Amino acid sequence: MSKPVSIQEFMQKFPDDDACLEHLFKARHGADFACPRCGLIGKFHKLSKMPAYSCQGCGDHIHPMVGTPFYNSHTPLQKWFYAMYLFTTTRHGVPAKELQRQLSVNYKTAWRMGHEIRKYLGFVDGDAPLSGHIEADETMIGGKRSGGKRGRGAPGKTVVFGMLEREGDVMTKIVENVRRATLEPHILANVKKGSTVSTDELKSYAKLARRGYTHGTVNHGAEEWVNGIHHTQSIEGFWSIVKRSIRGTHVHVSHRHLAKYLAEFEFRWNLRDDPASMFPLLLKRLET
């Protein structure tokens, strides 16, 4: 398991924008990068008036921030790095007001940075196919309940479908409803055939056995929570973390931006056994 990066270590490694840009340049291009124009290897110097490097042979410019969340941003690069550090060292995420306070930026800038980082977390995490024993379940997120219908079909809420590989990754999808025609294609596209799939008694899952999966259910309506190897307690635990974090940290998340927050929660869950690796992983993947 990786050793967590302390705030002192962060400040020593990234004391200013130039140090962050140098890391970005080396992460993306390596120490022996050859100039695309003249082919000169490893001979670049930092330009004084812009966040770029110039080839000592031909003067061609290399812009390390192009293709990253920081491109076209007027916010200092060190603040971006520190924001990513905060995202990976807090348990339930970072609201925009906290970014505003920690980074000394205005709220609009903090809000935008948070969403750009969440999109980047989703990119780093990816959607690798699931296999083995999968738990599938749906939940409702958002909205305000003032009486009336609860659970599936409750007004003002967003339906989220989740697939969790036991002892592995989790994947979420925002869906329009919980019908078989909506949920089943996500399983077919993301769960390898031959896998075991555990669900509740929802009829939308009834034909999974015909699709090449070993399917088992638990009947929550009859207060059955475990049926042999079949249960949905792991995915329900993930839903609980998501909802507690939204209520406690973000208060409310709109339907429009929910997918980005879910990507953040997936990233945290998938690295739960080695949370100290989150920040180094983000820095490493900047090479893409």
**CATH number of the domain that residue 231 is part of:** 3.30.420
Alpha-carbon span 44 to 61, nearest angstrom = 9
Q: Of all residues in the chain, what percent are helix, strand and coil, respectively (each to 5)?
A: 45, 15, 40
Task: Find the range with the poorest average confidence among 47-61, 142-156, 249-263.
Answer: 142-156
Strand arrangement of the beta sheet that strand 53-55 belongs to: 44-46, 53-55, 61-62
pLDDT at residue number 252: 87
DSSP 8-class letter at 250: I
Instruction: Tell me, yes or no, whether 115 and 157 share the same domain.
Output: no
Instruction: Tell me, yes or no, whether 40 and 153 share the same domain.
Output: no
pLDDT at residue number 109: 97
CA distances 172 to 45, 63, 239, Å, are: 44, 34, 10
Total domain count, the chain: 2
Alpha-carbon span 155 to 273, nearest angstrom = 36
Is the pLDDT reported for residue 96 higher than 90? yes
- The mean pLDDT value for 42-67 works out to 94
Average model confidence (pLDDT) for the chain?
93
Look up residue 248 and give its two tokens: 């406690």
Q: Quickly count: other Cβ atoms within 10 Å of residue 242's Cβ.
A: 26
> For residue 198, which of 161, 241, 163 has the smallest C-alpha distance?
163
Q: With pLDDT > 70 as the criterion, what percentage of the chain qualifies?
A: 94
Residue 268 lies inside a defined structural domain of this protein: no
Is the pLDDT reported for residue 187 higher than 70? yes
CB 17 within 8 A of CB 76: yes
Instruction: Tell me, yes or no, whether 140 and 113 share the same domain.
Output: no
Q: With pLDDT > 90 as the criterion, what percentage of the chain qualifies?
A: 84
Is the pLDDT reported for residue 149 higher than 60? no
Instruction: Tell me, yes or no, whether 98 and 55 share the same domain.
Output: yes
Domain extent, residue 149, equals 133-255
Instruction: Tell me, yes or no, whether 119 and 215 share the same domain.
Output: no
